[in-house]
Structure 1
Amino acid sequence: MSGGGIRGDVRPVRLAHLGLGAFFRAHQAWYTAHAPDAEAWGIAAFTGRRPDLAVALNAQDCRYTLIERHADGDRAEIVSSIAAAYAGTDLEAWRTTIASPEVGAITLTVTEAAYPAVPERDDALLADVRRWPEGAPSTVTGRILAGLHARRAADAGPLALVSCDNLPDNGAVLRHAVRWAAGEVDSGLAGWIERHVSFVSTVVDRITPASTDEDRAAAKELTCWADASPVVTEPFSEWILSGDFPAGRPGWDGAGARFVDDVEPFVRRKLWLLNGAHSLLAYAAATRGHETVADAVHDEVCVGWMGEWWDAAQRHLGLDAADVLEYRNALRYRFANPRIRHRLAQIGMDGSQKLPVRVLPVLRADLAAGHSPVGAARPIAAWIRHLRGETFEVRDPAAATFTAAASGPPRDAVRAVVSLLDEDLAEQRDLVRLIEGLVRDLG
């Protein structure tokens, strides 16, 4: 393989990962390192596109420091579950890895924005389909298809695809995109995928802020090793999976992962209570000058907004009230950890992809049930303030469209932005007026 490196003492490569970054290294790679059969499961990890992290990791034999940042101090370990690291653009290495019969699963952390909601209308995926099999694919779906095409040609057997991104029923969303694209380019490949590839749905959770120079200094002090790419994370971690692994998997359950028949209740709980609160704070707390989640939850105004949001979401979860209260209390503790600098600007990226799954279901449910939707409307209002340039830089795949919509007078801006999210909601005058008032009042 080209473009990467495999050290001599590594575990055999039996997993592939797309989306090499801090969260993957704090989560899936960490679970693999802590599995009781860890020595049998090395990971070939590919970046999203840029080669920088792969280069940095290869320079230190793919080992890295993981720092758990507790309120009373740091704890560090050296993680060695990554056997090889490659740039996402190294298509030769990708195809060779996926074509290996030893590889039993592909995990993905590519953000919600990488999953086409309607594959047949996604311009980038359509471009990949039109030029198949020539040229390098530009989409995650296209890259997966290229890997599966190589695996089929090598007669390498079945495989599991495991989405670890924050969107409802992520395995089914990935399955729809991959099967649609395969059907467009090669009916034989589509049939092979139907028979040999499983799609696993998951819920993942571990707060992983971007590392800083101070974190690199802390890693060196804790381990006596100058790690150029340490990962900082919180003590809490959760991984819930549902689906088949026809070619085997590590003993992740021995490291704390849970395997269930249905992830949907856990998806809603996490998306609404944790991720929804994060989106609310990312935009609303930023209007009050805060930079991190910990800063925001030490502001009683922000805490009140978060409580309103949680109350709205809890009404529609359909879960035991005592269990939800326990989860809310755990979130408060996690959010308030003063030693986790989870930047609001990092959380606030890709709002046009996140709000439709984190916030809109609760807003629609509140309206349908006749509740006052203030708690569910505030995240939308705060996002509009963000789109109007009043917080941090807008980083979003649809930034141009939404910032243009938000640029007019508040009433026009609210209607235009909400219309882009959901035309039916934009027709509800009372809701538009409510959001307009919240836009004016925030800050």
Structure 2
Amino acid sequence: MTPPRRTVRHPVRIVHLGLGAFHRAHQAWYTQQANEAAGGWGWGIAAFTGRSPEAARILAAQDAVYTLVERGPEADTAAIVESLSVVADGADADRWRNAVADRAVAVLTLTITEAGYRPTSAALDADLASLSAGGAATTAPGRLVDGLRARRNSGAGGLAVVSCDNLPDNGRVTREAVLGLAVSLDPSLAEWIDAEVSFVSTMVDRITPATTPDDRETVRELTGYDDAAPVVTEPFSEWVLSGDFPGGRPGWESGGARFVADIEPFERRKLWLLNAGHSLLAYLGLLRGHRTIADAMHDTVCVAALEELWEEARTELPFDDDTMQAATAALRTRFSNARIEHRLGQIAADGSQKLGPRILDPVRSRLAHGSAPGRAETGVLAAWILHLLDGSSTDAGAIDLVARLLVHPDDDARLAVEAVRALAPDLADDPSVTEPVRHHLGALRADRSFATEQPSQGAL
């Protein structure tokens, strides 16, 4: 067995929590690009696992070096990534504290999933008790507070905490989670964090499916290495960041990262184009018998609805036509890449959490500007209702709604109002929203496509 070989070990200047495939396809890859552009000297990452130590165990056996495979529509390309200098079990509290307290470290990045920012009260209380007694933390906010306390105590100075999860305004969310726990543990620590630590918001985008045994064979064929921990991802990547870096940062712009004053428009663009498009293709595509995003992109009905959805969002986003055309062109290419399997059933999960920011927020924007809700937007809501009714949904947040829908499964008017009320109570009494949903339900039941016309004003 010949694993990929290390040619350089960069000094650790970044600590990362959440050693998963996305981190290795995204932030670690951008750091690799920055190091190469700097001529060899660069920034090394000490990456800690979030839950299971398995990823650290496997990577440590090959000196934390791995292969990144970019899977294009026609072929694969492979590159060796060695920006990870150290990998470790996140449960090793002493090693974590020492890493965060290191004066050479200037950046602390996170990929802990959306749920990691909002642990239960019981879990936070347990962390508070453990940290008060000098013990370890188990939640992500607890680990951050533990590491930052060690840094404060060492006199190492401030650093930037950079969230890289799909969460709007993730820097603010991280800051609130950390300070909320810190102030209960030690008010003086909270004051130090508030004064010395910056919380950077980011928008991240790169589809990274789970690695398979076939992928490892592909790496062997491309490189000659036996890599137990390769990462497969799409060629496209995007990273937009907003915030301060008091101790410096890598030149991530070498890989295409952008630094902006206001990240919110970029978050909306992603939610209303990529994520909303995924939801549309998931619910409409499943109704029409498709399995993956790429399958749905071969269906002219799905594609026409997708293009209409993007046109509806276009008027609500503060970007010029050239930028919007480039964004949607990139999405067409990405969605059509059949060699990146993105399953509709996976995307359809948790619609009760996803459809608010993806679909209802652009509807609210249109209403605020005097426009009617988009035909494709309301069609997504109708397709989601039928998805809930067909028994295939695993949405824990929609259990009560499904029970209410099943009381009157054939009353489309009531279904529309119930579903809109569950997602957006402020819109449930607005017939300009609920009536098109009702209209779409009838059309979808008839031919599994959205209604070609909106209901007349008289129907409202």
CA distance in 1, matches of 2:126, 2:398: 22
Residue by residue over 1:166-205, the C-alpha shift from the partner in whole angstroms, topping out at 9 and shown as x without a partner, is 2322212222222232223321011000111001111222
Q: Secondary structure at the match of 1:202?
A: strand
Q: What TM-score, normalized to structure 1?
A: 0.88
- Aligned in 2, Cα 1:152/1:330: closer, same or farther, shift over 3 Å? same
- How far the C-alpha of 1:299 sits from its partner, in A, is 1.0
1:11-30 map, 5 Å? 11-30=10-29
CA distance in 2, matches of 1:437, 1:57: 53
Q: Equivalent residue for 1:213? A: 213
CA distance in 2, matches of 1:185, 1:306: 49
- Aligned in 2, Cα 1:348/1:372: closer, same or farther, shift over 3 Å? closer
1:346-385 map, 5 Å? 346-368=346-368, 369-385=370-386
CA distance in 2, matches of 1:113, 1:247: 29
Q: Equivalent residue for 2:91? A: 89
**Which one-letter code corresponds to 1:34 in the other structure?**
Q
**Which one-letter code corresponds to 1:94 in the other structure?**
W
Residue by residue over 1:136-165, the C-alpha shift from the partner in whole angstroms, topping out at 9 and shown as x without a partner, is 444322221222122112222111011112
- How far the C-alpha of 1:416 sits from its partner, in A, is 4.5
Q: What TM-score, normalized to structure 2?
A: 0.85
- Aligned in 2, Cα 1:57/1:128: closer, same or farther, shift over 3 Å? same
- How far the C-alpha of 1:295 sits from its partner, in A, is 1.1
Which residue among 100, 107, 110 is the counterpart of 2:109? Answer: 107
Mapped pair 1:246 → 2:246: yes
- How far the C-alpha of 1:395 sits from its partner, in A, is 6.1
Between the two proteins, the alignment pairs up a number of residues equal to 432
Runs of 4+ in 1 over 6 A off after TM superposition: none
Which residue among 420, 425, 443 is the counterpart of 2:427? Answer: 425
Residue by residue over 1:349-400, the C-alpha shift from the partner in whole angstroms, topping out at 9 and shown as x without a partner, is 4444433322221021233323133322233333344444554x6266x465
- How far the C-alpha of 1:312 sits from its partner, in A, is 1.8
- Aligned in 2, Cα 1:180/1:279: closer, same or farther, shift over 3 Å? same
- How far the C-alpha of 1:30 sits from its partner, in A, is 0.4
Deviates more, 1:243-252 or 1:41-50: 41-50
- Aligned in 2, Cα 1:346/1:324: closer, same or farther, shift over 3 Å? same
- How far the C-alpha of 1:26 sits from its partner, in A, is 1.0
Contact 1:386 1:394 in 2 (8 A): no
Residue by residue over 1:274-311, the C-alpha shift from the partner in whole angstroms, topping out at 9 and shown as x without a partner, is 12212222333222222221111111111122122212
Q: Secondary structure at the match of 1:359?
A: helix
Q: Equivalent residue for 1:229? A: 229
Contact 1:98 1:151 in 2 (8 A): yes
Q: Equivalent residue for 1:171? A: 171
CA distance in 1, matches of 2:126, 2:437: 38
Aligned-residue sequence identity (percent) comes to 50
CA distance in 1, matches of 2:405, 2:245: 45
CA distance in 2, matches of 1:77, 1:122: 43
Contact 1:112 1:354 in 2 (8 A): no
Deviates more, 1:63-72 or 1:417-426: 417-426
- Aligned in 2, Cα 1:64/1:238: closer, same or farther, shift over 3 Å? same
Contact 2:372 2:432 in 1 (8 A): no
CA distance in 2, matches of 1:194, 1:44: 24
CA distance in 2, matches of 1:61, 1:389: 48
Q: Equivalent residue for 1:335? A: 335
- Aligned in 2, Cα 1:350/1:229: closer, same or farther, shift over 3 Å? farther
Contact 1:164 1:202 in 2 (8 A): yes
Q: Considering only CA atoms, is the larger Rg found in Structure 1 or Structure 2?
A: 2
1:235-314 map, 5 Å? 235-314=235-314
- How far the C-alpha of 1:248 sits from its partner, in A, is 1.5
- Unpaired segments ≥5 residues, structure 2: 1-5, 449-460
**Which one-letter code corresponds to 2:144 in the other structure?**
I
**What is the aligned-residue RMSD (CA, Å)?**
2.7
- How far the C-alpha of 1:80 sits from its partner, in A, is 1.2
Mapped pair 1:10 → 2:9: yes
Contact 2:131 2:146 in 1 (8 A): no
CA distance in 1, matches of 2:115, 2:322: 34
Q: Secondary structure at the match of 1:285?
A: helix
Residue by residue over 1:321-351, the C-alpha shift from the partner in whole angstroms, topping out at 9 and shown as x without a partner, is 2321221122111211222222223434444
Contact 1:166 1:271 in 2 (8 A): no
**Which one-letter code corresponds to 1:229 in the other structure?**
A
